[in-house]
Amino acid sequence: MAVRSFQARLLYLLIAVLVLLEAGTLISVHVAGQRTLRQTVDGELQVGARVLDRILDTRARQLSESLRVLALDFPFRQAVAGADVSTVTSVLENHGSRIAADAVVLISLDGMVTADTLGGRMVGRPFPFEQMMRLAEERGEASSTVTFANRPYQFVIVPVLAPQRIAWVCAGFAIDERVLADVSRITSLELSIWSGTPNAPAERISTLPAEARNDAAYATRLRPLQTGDQSHIYTLLQRSLAEAQAPFVALELQIFGLSLALLLLAVLAAVIFARTVSRPLRVLADGAGRIERGDYVSTVVVDQQDEIGQLAGAFNQMQSAIAAREAQIIHQSTHDALTGLPNRTLFLQRVAESIAASRRIGPLGPSVGMIMMDVDRFKDINDTLGHHFGDQLLIDIGRRLSQSMSMSDTVARFGGDEFAVKFTAPTDGEATELAARVAAVFDAPFALGEVSIDVNASLGIALFPQHAADADTLMKRADIAMYDAKKNQSGSAVYEPGRDEHSLRRLSLMMELRQAIARDELQLYFQPKIDVLTERVVHVEALVRWNHSRHGVMRPDEFIPLAEQAGKIGLITKWVIRNAIAQCAAWRRDGIDLNVAVNLSALDLFDSELPTFISGLLADAGLPAAKLMLEITESAIMKDAAYAQRILADLKRRGVCLAIDDFGTGYSSLAHLKRLPVDELKIDKSFVLNLTESATDDMVIVRSTIELGHNMGLTVIAEGVETADAWRILKRLGCDMGQGYYMSPPLPVDKFNAWLAESRWGTG
């Protein structure tokens, strides 16, 4: 009787729980369905808005490309330049019909419409959309949505160049039902658009039938379009709630029917389950308790061949699977997924264990060493060969490192191209030998598929207890040593005490670089280049200085390398070019005819937008391109010679002059130099600083460089002229220009202007 009472109570409890669960499930499904419906509808409306914006943007780009074809047409530009209104109007009408434009107008540079395809209605009037004109003048072209003829239009403006800008041509395209129908077809939404101005009523265009436009059974999203004038253009996106809700209603009915059937089956199963569950459940509960305590060895034994027996078997399988997954999770949490090497967590744990073991031995314990390693130019390998080859290279590096170390050492990968090695060494000499053995891993080329490449790495070494007392500090100082090796291109470096403060200063300066431009802390200095024959200044070189609030005036070699590491060199280069061009233009307005030179970083040669940026600045300043000289070092060009040559060729086509800086210190061949579109060679100052009649080696190098440059048709400049003897020698050897402290150090613009007026080398 007691058994039956327990079974009944268990059965009632199970049925009550099942009913509550089913009810809760149905309510949750309904609530979740309504919430999902709202989210889905909102998402569809947001997607519809983005699709509309994307279609309008794509349409604007297509229109801009079509209109640019007209602007490049030579007969059209000839007609515009000759003010042949009838021919211009005919061309506008023909081209407008080809691109299905509703309105095409020609705008003079003062903003007046000189021809149109509207029967001359706009001719002789100012172009009505001033904001678009301003945007076109700033960016070179413009597109916008505006209100025109009481309807929403897309207008596109492009310049007519011959080769300077002589006019603007503008095309307008009505946003009509076809555009909205495209969006509606893609998104299943209904769209309406209308425009209005203070003096004109709104006109509505819609894909929704007129009788359904005020139907409340639609979810709506009203949003204004960004326009190029003072009018207002609105879009209304609508989604039929009945259509959106239909799948959810059907799903709820299916879930309700399925839940009811499952409830009946569950009640039947509960009746059967209640009769046999008590004893096996106790056994299973005991097994679960063992698993909770971490016992994955003992198994659950249930002598039944029914579902409970199968559950017991599944329980045992689950126990084994949990044990295997826990071991896998522990391995994944402590090892790198790509190479299988220990990761940072396990590596630091092993370093800490080795340090603790060394401490237990006492002062005679071995040193614990750490090598931090970074693969040089790994990004270039990834970009050139692809990530698959990059991953294979990392695997090969890890395998070679592991093979070169003993079983007691640890090789780890921290992520990216960064590896680390933990070792023990009785003496510092043995630590250095071990680092050399690690570096030798990179002596042989790595074979990646059919490609064989040479790879180098920068290694930083730190030792316990000489350099640090714990694992974290040891890793930090090995990392500092690695960056010293990378900076000095020495291959490897041992940590030097006191470098922490230097690294903190470098990190602080790297963080402050962006604010330096915003706070106007940068300043240009100018150093003259003197023509050897006339002994007068003809060129100046713009050199940037940083007026730091704490460190004072900082020279470029103090912060330019940091800017390159932080990825901010492009900001500084563009600031220097912008201000150098502005100052050159100011001198020209004052009657001082000087060319200005600016140094480019190696990273600047990978900026494909740089030629366009420079052309825009020169055009805005009204300065001939030949007045700007860009100086590039040989080593910068050789980082990616093919790509650098394309950028330099683009700059040369735009009329900018180019110079090879620090010539003689790079690695470029004469054949490669011959292909470069350069105008000048600058002899590196290391060959000029100590130039005297007795300095035979320097004399030979300088004379050979001058003859080489002249034979190639290049102007030759010597930098680092410090003495009158050096100046006389350069003059005798036929050098074209000289630059150095003998004539003038770099000066801020006010002092440089005074030097121009007072110095015998100046223009005064």
Instruction: Say what the pLDDT of residue 272 is.
Output: 66
Instruction: Say what the pLDDT of residue 301 is.
Output: 62
Span 29-37, average pLDDT: 76
pLDDT digits (tens, 9 = 90+) for 556-602: 776 666 666 656 777 888 889 999 999 999 999 999 999 999 988 87
Residue 89 predicted with pLDDT over 90? no
Name which of 654, 565, 637, 571 is nearest 602 in CA terms.
637
Give the Cα separation of 319 and 99 in Å (integer). 71
pLDDT digits (tens, 9 = 90+) for 614-637: 999 999 999 999 999 999 876 666
Q: Please state, for a pLDDT cut of 70, what percent of the chain lies above it.
A: 81
Q: Where are the alpha helices (DSSP H) in 277-306?
A: 278-292
Structure token digits, residue 41: 């509808």
Structure token digits, residue 417: 């191209």
Q: Put the strands of the sheet holding 457-464 in their side by side order.
A: 410-415, 418-425, 367-375, 457-464, 492-494
Span 495-508, average pLDDT: 57
- The answer for 100, left when phi > 0, alpha when psi is -120 to 50, beta otherwise, is left
Task: Assess contact for 684 and 719: CB atoms under 8 A.
Answer: yes
Greatest mean pLDDT range, 60-64, 117-121, 706-710:
706-710
Structure token digits, residue 496: 């030097």
Name which of 168, 475, 516 is nearest 352 in CA terms.
475
Instruction: Say what the pLDDT of residue 227 is.
Output: 62
Looking at the chain, how many residues does it have? Answer: 764
Residue 500 predicted with pLDDT over 50? no
Task: Assess contact for 389 and 449: CB atoms under 8 A.
Answer: yes
Residue 73 predicted with pLDDT over 60? yes
pLDDT digits (tens, 9 = 90+) for 263-316: 777 777 766 666 666 666 666 666 666 666 666 666 666 666 566 666 766 777
Neighbours of 105 (CB within 10 A): 26
Task: Assess contact for 457 and 480: CB atoms under 8 A.
Answer: no
pLDDT digits (tens, 9 = 90+) for 459-490: 888 888 777 778 888 888 888 788 777 777 77
Structure token digits, residue 370: 């750490």
Neighbours of 324 (CB within 10 A): 11
Greatest mean pLDDT range, 429-438, 682-691, 715-724:
715-724
Name which of 574, 539, 551, 545 is nearest 505 in CA terms.
551
Beta strands in 476-560 (DSSP E): 492-494, 522-531, 537-548, 552-554
Residue 389 predicted with pLDDT over 70? yes
Residue 136 predicted with pLDDT over 90? no
CA distances from 275 to 7, 49, 267, 308 (A): 6, 61, 13, 12
Structure token digits, residue 307: 């579902």
Which residues are CB-neighbours of 178 under 8 A, at least 6 positions away?
Answer: none
pLDDT digits (tens, 9 = 90+) for 158-187: 998 888 888 999 998 888 778 777 777 877
Instruction: Say what the pLDDT of residue 99 is.
Output: 82
Residue 683's φ and ψ, nearest 5 degrees, are: -70, 130
Q: pTM score, two decimals?
A: 0.43
Q: What is the mean pLDDT of the chain?
A: 79
Span 62-91, average pLDDT: 83
CB contact burial 698-716 (16+ within 10 A = b; e otherwise): bbebbeebbeebeeeebbb
3-state class (DSSP) for residue 392: helix
Span 340-360, average pLDDT: 85
Instruction: Say what the pLDDT of residue 1 is.
Output: 38
Instruction: Say what the pLDDT of residue 41 is.
Output: 75
Name which of 591, 452, 552, 571 is nearest 514 in CA terms.
571
Give the Cα separation of 690 and 720 in Å (integer). 9
Greatest mean pLDDT range, 5-9, 48-52, 335-339, 547-551:
335-339
DSSP string, 189-244: -EEEEEEEETTEEEEEEESS-GGGTT-SSEEEEEEEPPBSSS-EEEEEEEEEHHHH
Give the Cα separation of 443 and 457 in Å (integer). 10
Between residues 230 and 732, the one the model is more confident about: 732
Task: Assess contact for 296 and 320: CB atoms under 8 A.
Answer: yes
Give the Cα separation of 125 and 111 in Å (integer). 9
Span 440-461, average pLDDT: 81
Residue 3 predicted with pLDDT over 60? no
Neighbours of 171 (CB within 10 A): 27
Instruction: Say what the pLDDT of residue 667 is.
Output: 46
Residue 245 predicted with pLDDT over 90? no
Quote the radius of gyration of the chain (alpha carbons, Å).
Answer: 38
Residue 244 predicted with pLDDT over 60? yes
Greatest mean pLDDT range, 122-126, 260-264, 727-731:
727-731
Neighbours of 34 (CB within 10 A): 13
Name which of 199, 211, 205, 148 is nearest 181 in CA terms.
205
Which residues are CB-neighbours of 318 under 8 A, at least 6 positions away?
Answer: none
Instruction: Say what the pLDDT of residue 198 is.
Output: 47
525 DSSP β-pair partners: 543, 748
Which residues are CB-neighbours of 313 under 8 A, at least 6 positions away?
Answer: none
pLDDT digits (tens, 9 = 90+) for 367-388: 788 888 888 777 777 777 777 8
Q: Where are the alpha helices (DSSP H) in 73-119?
A: 74-81, 85-98
Task: Assess contact for 593 and 633: CB atoms under 8 A.
Answer: no
